[in-house]
Amino acid sequence: MQSKFLLPIATVMAIFLTACSTPLPSSADLDKLTKDIIARSFRAEGQAQLDRVNPDEDNLLCSQADQAGTTIDEKLAAAIEARNMQTIKPPADGKFLGDYKEGEKIAQSGSGKTWTDKADAANGGNCYNCHQISKEELSYGTLGPSLYNYGKMRGVANPSSPESKPIVEYTWGKINNPRAYNACSSMPRFGHKGVLTEMQIKHVMALLLDPASPVNK
């Protein structure tokens, strides 16, 4: 009776001892394994190409800090913000605001950038996914701060006035490339990554800053 159990027990013990003596894979090995799995799990389709699974340097640095459960080094964060700030350009015609009604449409739309969308079709901003913006829209996310009364709370009575210039330029930069202000911001880099056109960003600017916009009522 005992002999029936001795062989299985001995086998299990041998496997256990072998596993204990086998060195664990290094962090580099696990990173390579992860990259290989991702590479095998996706295929290019339409405008969704495989370059999307390869993070740029800033995304990689922020992801590494997040995986380690730490905040990114202050000097490194400052360097990320500085190089992203250099990507922000003022509007070509010097005008920061467009049509707030068009801005509302862009904020509501989550279309674009998928493999089923045409590459030349206009993208949405999907702003309500993370922010409250107008009081009329009851369905919104809270990942980002509320933007209701954005311009009004910041004293923007005339977006073209010298007094409003700092907040207007900041808002323009924030929409274009938020990593210029927060190294590991999770907000999309709408202008820098070509998600929204310059004209679309002007419309969103108007939604937030135009005193006539419902956002500021």
Domain map of the chain by residue range?
1-41, 42-217
Separation in Å, CA 50 to CA 35, 41, 186: 12, 10, 21
pLDDT in tens, 183-196: 999 999 999 999 99
Query: With a threshold of 0.75, does the pTM exceed it?
Result: yes
Residue 10 vs residue 157, higher pLDDT: 157
Q: In this predicted structure, what is the pLDDT of residue 54?
A: 83
**What pLDDT band is residue 5 in, cutting at 50, 70 and 90?**
very low
pLDDT in tens, 17-63: 555 556 778 878 888 888 888 888 888 999 888 888 888 999 999 99
Q: Which residues of 186-215 are buried (b: 16+ CB within 10 A; e: fewer)?
A: ebbbbbbeebbeeebbbbbbbbbbbeebbb
Q: In this predicted structure, what is the pLDDT of residue 22?
A: 63
Q: What is the token pair recorded at 50?
A: 């495989």
**Burial of residue 15 (number of CB atoms within 10 Å: 0-12, 13-18, 19+):** exposed
Q: What is the token pair recorded at 61?
A: 């640095």
User: Would you say residue 1 has pLDDT above 70?
Assistant: no
Average pLDDT, the chain: 89
Q: What is the token pair recorded at 213?
A: 């916009």
Report the chain's terminal Cα–Cα distance, integer Å.
86
Residue range 42-217, CATH number: 1.10.760.10
Do 58 and 163 form a contact (C-beta atoms < 8 A)?
no
Q: What is the token pair recorded at 196?
A: 């929204």
Q: For the chain, how many residues are written?
A: 217
**Burial of residue 74 (number of CB atoms within 10 Å: 0-12, 13-18, 19+):** exposed
